[in-house]
Amino acid sequence: MARDLNIACVQFTAVDGEKEATVAKALALIEAAARQGARLIVLPEVWTGLGYSTPTAYKEIAEPIPGPTTDKLGALAQRYRCHIVGSTYESTAGGTLHNTASLIGPEGKVIGLYRKTHLFDAPRRKDIKPGVQESEKVKAGDTLPVFETAIGRIGVSVCSDLRFPEIYRVMALKGADIIVCASAFLSPRFDHWEFFLRARACENQVFVAASGQVGIEPKSGIGFVGRSMIVDPWGTIVATASDTETFVAATVDLDFAEKVKSWYPLMDQRRPAMYGEIVAGAKPARAAAE
């Protein structure tokens, strides 16, 4: 019997300094997707506000989890009996901030949290607005949970995590049926975006559902790829969003992953004893030009 799951990826532009309006826009898109039958709804990264327009904008956006915004997500999740996941700036009691994805279940409660583990630090990129150093804003997480839910086992990643195949492999080995990616993937990098999503799905034989911010954030001038998409375990793009504030949805059969694994049992053919250097901690040699 097929395990059908309707997935929706919501994309929009989160505007700094307009948190209330941004949240309202997101809730309207979530509700529209839920009314069409989505049982898993993926939001972008830092979807309540990018936090790059001023040196302190991210602090003003941050909230505790659970908190006012996750409570609003919980009300919709409970009303429509769906799961919702997306990342926001999380403030903790100790004052530490994280880029945290909350997974909300159909009971309206937070099932679990994933704190972004691979922060976006690119100080020498000439094509990126100067000062993009995420580690100066938030602390990285250090766990890779896979959440058991009524709709399957869900792994969670956030944006630049996508460039690190090791974390997707870990979640796949933990039994993830689907790995979501909440993103604010910077433009113009569509080739990287599509390539990484298809590679992570194909090499780990899992579904990947990725939602990104879209357009240009007007306060900072930072632009995003958008193109939210759902990719199956064969690496085929099932659905892609248009270049606008919208959502894209598709119904997938989670059991298709088992069929793909029967065609090509990659996980059974792994040779972990050979892979020690991956986790040895040594840094690769760098070119002298750097």
CA-based nearest residue to 245, from 1, 17, 26:
26
d(CA 259, CA 119): 34
Q: Is 45 a catalytic residue?
A: yes
Q: What φ, ψ does residue 241 adopt, rounded to 5°?
A: -80, 155
Alpha-carbon dihedral 158, 162, 163, 167, rounded to 10 degrees: 90
Radius of gyration of the chain (CA): 18
Question: Of the listed 9, 25, 45, 90, which one is catalytic?
Answer: 45
Helix (H, G, I), strand (E, B) or coil at 183: strand
- Distances, alpha carbon 218 to alpha carbons 35, 56, 99, 241, in Å: 30, 17, 21, 21
Q: State the DSSP code for 169.
A: H
Strand locations in 66-206 (E): 83-91, 97-104, 110-115, 146-149, 152-158, 178-183
Question: What's the first-to-final CA gap in the chain, in angstroms?
Answer: 55
Question: Of the listed 9, 82, 90, 116, which one is catalytic?
Answer: 116
Cα–chain center distance at 13: 15
Q: Is 19 a catalytic residue?
A: no
Catalytic residues: 45, 116, 159
